[in-house]
Amino acid sequence: MWGETFRDIVDLGMSFSAADLAQAQEARTALFRRVQHAFRHVDVIAMPSLTRSPGPADARCPVHGEDYAAWAAALYPFNLTGHPAISVPCGFTSEGIPVGIQFVARWHEEERLFDVARILQAALPSWKERPKL
């Protein structure tokens, strides 16, 4: 019923102590404050959804491995702080694999993200126009 990756996450979580949890909560609060500060100067943050091109759909990438942490580095901060984020398809790699751009907004500004995503998708070619390789 549960996948191997899920079991890996549970096993990893069981290895942490209460002191580890308290330290992580303090670090998360500090990160939240830094992100909040950034929104004093901008309305939306834009960045790649992933730090490298996606691999095959069936590739196994352990969530506690260094590869996954580096690959998903742009996702972690906002998963931790709870800031709304949306990933929108924005192009293709040279191999024809779709890639996305992530937009992040202040707390409770999901509507702004939907507007930005809608504008971007209207400006880009249709996904049916996949590049010829």
Would you state the structure tokens that stand for residue 25, as one six-digit string?
């909560």
Q: How many other CB atoms are found less than 10 A from the CB of residue 103?
A: 22
Q: Is 89:50 a contact under the CB 8 Å cutoff?
A: no
pTM more than 0.95: no
User: CA neighbours within 13 Å on the CB side: how many for 10?
Assistant: 6
Structural domain boundaries of the chain?
4-123
In 3D space, the residue among 82, 104, 103 whose CA is nearest the CA of residue 33 turns out to be 82
Q: Are 128 and 92 in contact (CB under 8 A)?
A: no
pLDDT (0 to 100) of residue 82:
93
Query: Tens of pLDDT along the chain (133 residues)?
Result: 567 778 888 888 899 999 999 999 999 999 999 999 999 999 999 999 888 776 665 666 555 566 777 778 888 889 899 999 999 988 888 877 788 899 999 999 999 999 999 999 888 876 666 666 5
86 forms bridges with which residues in the sheet? 103
